[in-house]
Amino acid sequence: MNGNTELKIFNTLTRRLEPFIPIEPGKVGIYLCGPTVYKPSHVGHMVGPVIFDSIKRYLKYLGFQVTFIVNITDIDDKLIKEAPLQNLTVASLAEKITQDYWENLKKLQVTQIDQFPKATHHIQQIIEMIQGLIDRGYAYPMNGDVYFDISKDSDYGKLCNRDPEQLEAGARIEVNAKKKNPGDFALWKSAKPGEPSWTSPWGEGRPGWHIECSAMSRTLLGDTIDIHGGGLDLQFPHHENELAQSESFTQKPFARYWMHNGLMKTGNKKMSKSEGNEIVVTELLKRHHPETLRFLLLNTHYRSPIEYSEDRLRELRRALDSYYRFFDRYQRICKESFYHLEGSQTKQDSIIQSSKNSLNRTLEKGTEKIDPTNPVESFLQEIQLCYQQFTACLNEDFNTGGAIGILFDLSSILNRFADQQGLETHPDKIEKPVMEAFKQGTLLFRELSQILGLFIEPVSSANTENTTLLDGLIQLALDLRQEARKNKNFAQADQIRKRLTELGVVLEDRAGGTDWRIN
RNA sequence: GGCCGCGUCGCCAAGUGGUAAGGCCACGGUUUGCAAAACCGUUAUUCCCCGGUUCGAAUCCGGGCGCGGCCUCCA
């Protein structure tokens, strides 16, 4: 698999675009920081999972074998504080919020995560790591707590370009008397009475924030992971500290590529629990289809802030509708569902590469020999160009926004071809190569959209959700209108359509009859 | 104060050295009995401002203005 050599990733560590080369050829380990499960997910929590879900889909497409881990931090001060407010134990609060998180991911078609390790299931590994850090002189116990000593880590601050001296100078945090340096951070925290705790060499207690990620990533992905991801807000202190612990412990590089996604914002403010302006995912999904949210998250490049607004979602839904209408059209023309098409799962098997179809036979002729006056040949050539542009976008630091732009181009090309060839207006006169080309173009659309995790399942339209009574009533109105049209009583026909439009029922007349949909 | 990033059409948004993708909105046209949908076309000689480098810059460098993030919990 050589396709991978073209892939470039922006690495936070070096602040540069770098060619992607995994440690072990053909294999990729990804660790993405997941949520602390104390409050229901807000939209921002979905950004990383959706983006990395698409990233994994693309890496698989390129032929990599990918392991993708997202942790669940289920023990933390915030849980301890929140649980009693809800009359729950820490464990049951964690369970409840984790379920909420998982349900949301599922709705957003985030299906590529292999494991969700939980901090409380890795206490042993955490303790071992802390002990190792103490043994090596990087950490010190203090009255039941254990702290990481940043002064012992010569390159502390390298991820975020921070100077430990200045961290001290500018520390606004109240100085914890137990720490040697203000920048030191807790690896282990002693338990107060009544708090959940585990037995350790330093007494009853719980892991500090950061160490769970170091321990779990090492357990599941080894000392060095290929890609470590997370939100921009985790860069410091979370990732800086993770990196410091892990490298001090293993004496090996912790992650080859650090990828940080931009934060969700509304207006000019970032969205977060502390700002109090977060949109809870389950609430949002009552108003919008999950695919619209996924589409929103992929439309902006992952490193940029994502503009969130209700208007924006409605706007994007209108854009998605044009795709959905194309899928309906495909069904009318080819008598099969777009959603049943099996797009190639890897670049190797791509419809573009396969030698068993007319598309490829045409493309093999080479650009010069393609007859521009032959509509099928020029159509196939346009399709191929889309393919090249699409992969070029994703190769350039996973430019999903650019890739979606190409998907729009592709659907225009397909619609235009269907128009020009009269695929719907005179289906009897269509020659086989024309139909075959149309199908292959659509199959390519399927192949590419699957990489983004888009259009995996049909969007349940209002039509199918409604009762047979509603269907019947609308059909009745349509029959009456058809009758009027037949009699050239257009005034009455238009009156019926107008009344339906006012009710939100949009009609589309075509050769085979009248379709309707609810707006 | 330190570190990081951003400023591209009315709105959203790609592009980051070779002469401005795409979406939404708007306006024309083809099609339609009329619509809807689809398609075609129009809409930034110009990318916050000022300098510089270059044959050539939205893209690189310097300065300015504006906005945001991190430095404390945060995806």
Rounded Cα–Cα distance for residues A231 and A48 (Å): 7
Q: What is the pLDDT of residue A5?
A: 62
Same domain, residue pair A391 and A414: yes
Which residues have a Cβ under 8 Å from the Cβ of A470 and sit 6 or more positions away?
Answer: none
Same domain, residue pair A232 and A125: yes
Same domain, residue pair A274 and A395: no
Name the residue with tokens 């490829």: A360
Same domain, residue pair A191 and A112: yes
Same domain, residue pair A434 and A483: no
Helix residue spans in A460-515 (DSSP H): 462-465, 468-486, 490-502
- Which of residues A451, A484, A499 is at a domain's end? A451
> Could you say which residues 13-32 of protein chain A have a Cβ atom less than 7 A away from any atom in strand B?
15
State the total domains in chain A.
Answer: 3
Side-chain half-sphere CA neighbours of A439 within 13 A? 18
> Could you say which residues 153-192 of protein chain A have a Cβ atom less than 7 A away from any atom in strand B?
160-163, 166-167, 170-173
Distance in Å from B12's C1' to A405's CA comes to: 13
Distance in Å from B75's C1' to A256's CA comes to: 21
User: Residue A70, Cβ neighbours under 10 Å: how many?
Assistant: 24
Question: Quick one: tokens of A176?
Answer: 């914890």
Within 7 A of a protein CB, which nucleotides of strand B? 1-6, 11-16, 21-25, 32-40, 67-75
Does residue A397 sit in helix, strand or coil?
A: coil
Whether A91 is covered by a domain: the verdict is yes
Which residues have a Cβ under 8 Å from the Cβ of A371 and sit 6 or more positions away?
Answer: A377, A378
What does each of the 519 residues of chain A score in pLDDT, given as a tens digit? 444 468 999 999 998 999 999 999 999 999 999 999 999 999 999 999 999 999 999 999 999 999 999 999 999 999 999 999 999 999 999 999 999 999 999 999 999 999 999 999 999 999 999 999 999 999 999 999 999 999 999 999 999 988 877 665 444 445 566 788 888 999 999 999 999 999 999 999 999 999 999 999 999 999 999 999 999 999 999 999 999 999 999 999 999 999 999 999 987 788 877 777 889 999 999 999 999 999 999 999 999 999 899 999 999 999 999 999 999 999 999 999 999 999 999 999 998 876 566 666 666 666 666 777 789 999 999 999 999 999 999 999 999 999 999 999 999 999 999 999 999 988 888 999 999 999 999 999 999 999 999 999 998 655 455 578 888 999 999 999 999 999 999 999 999 999 999 999 999 999 888 999 988
Same domain, residue pair A315 and A278: no
Same domain, residue pair A73 and A194: yes
Same domain, residue pair A435 and A395: yes
- Give the ipTM: 0.96
Whether A456 is covered by a domain: the verdict is no
Question: Quick one: tokens of A513?
Answer: 């009859």
- Which of residues A276, A302, A328 is at a domain's end? A302
Q: What is the pLDDT of residue A367?
A: 64
| Dihedral of alpha carbons A80, A86, A90, A96, sign | negative
Same domain, residue pair A210 and A236: yes
Q: What is the pLDDT of residue A181?
A: 85
Same domain, residue pair A445 and A472: no
- Which of residues A403, A426, A451 is at a domain's end? A451
Same domain, residue pair A385 and A415: yes
Q: What is the pLDDT of residue A272?
A: 78
User: Which domain CATH number covers A33?
Assistant: 3.40.50.620
Decide: CB of A231 under 7 A of nucleic strand B: yes
Decide: CB of A128 under 7 A of nucleic strand B: no
Same domain, residue pair A329 and A291: no
Whether A498 is covered by a domain: the verdict is yes
Which residues have a Cβ under 8 Å from the Cβ of A194 and sit 6 or more positions away?
Answer: none
For residue A274, give its domain range. Answer: 3-302
Q: What is the pLDDT of residue A166?
A: 65
Whether A457 is covered by a domain: the verdict is no
